[in-house]
């Protein structure tokens, strides 16, 4: 099941352009590489052919990833802000024992239109703070299986 992702218009346009290139010129280029390598002879020991087929697999995987992302993306304005962290919000958190805070945008890691660190709502930290408000303390599981706690300092809608 896909989950909706919030993207800025700039990020959506850049990703759409990448997808258009990959499904057009990109596929033609890889097909030409495969054909040229195929003409070299024995496919079992043809390194160029196997490299081109691997490149084709990566290209098709990226096409699927972009297609899914763009199909389910919410573009433009961030969702209506109700004070809770979620896609399209900038969250400032403090880890216990730290004086410093960390600010990040909950959005798509594909969105490079901001200088802020970007966490997806599906990431451990992004998912943990989503739905919570300033002042809340949340505990979440890190990829290594350990748990971490973070206090939400501020939540505000993203604006570029």
Residue 79 backbone phi and psi in degrees, to 5? -55, 160
Q: Which distant-in-sequence residues (6+ apart) come within 8 Å of 65 by Cβ? A: none
Instruction: Give start-end residues of each CATH 1.10.287.180 domain in the chain.
Output: 5-75
Q: pLDDT tens for residues 35-69? A: 888 888 777 777 888 888 999 999 999 999 899 88
C-alpha atoms less than 13 angstroms from C-alpha of 60 in its C-beta half-sphere: 8
Structural domain 5-75, CATH architecture: Orthogonal Bundle (1.10)
How far apart CA 129 and CA 134 sit, in angstroms, is: 10
Contact 110, 87 (CB under 8 A): no
* Residue 1 scores a pLDDT above 50: no
Residue 147's contacts (CB-CB under 8 Å, 6 or more residues apart) are 139, 140, 141
pTM over 0.85: no
122 neighbors 108 (Cβ within 8 angstroms)? no
In words, the CATH class of domain 89-157 is alpha beta
Q: Please name the residue ranges forming H helices in 4-144.
A: 9-21, 27-38, 47-72, 124-129
Residue spans in the chain of domains classed CATH 3.10.50.30: 89-157
Tens of pLDDT, residues 105-155: 888 777 666 788 888 888 999 999 999 999 999 999 999 999 999 999 999
């Amino acid at each position: 099941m896909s989950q909706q992702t919030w993207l800025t218009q700039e990020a959506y346009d850049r990703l759409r352009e990448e997808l258009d290139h990959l499904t057009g010129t990109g596929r033609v280029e890889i097909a030409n590489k495969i054909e040229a390598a195929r003409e070299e002879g024995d496919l079992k020991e043809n390194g160029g052919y196997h490299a081109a087929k691997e490149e084709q697999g990566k290209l098709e995987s990226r096409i699927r990833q972009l297609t899914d992302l763009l199909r389910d993306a919410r573009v433009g304005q961030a969702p209506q802000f109700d004070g809770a962290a979620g896609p399209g919000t900038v969250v400032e958190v403090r880890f216990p024992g730290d004086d410093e805070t960390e600010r990040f945008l909950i959005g798509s890691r594909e969105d490079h239109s901001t200088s802020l660190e970007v966490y997806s709502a599906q990431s451990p930290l992004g998912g943990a703070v989503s739905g919570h408000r300033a002042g809340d303390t949340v505990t979440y599981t890190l990829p290594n299986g350990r748990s971490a706690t973070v206090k939400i300092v501020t939540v505000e809608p993203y604006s570029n």
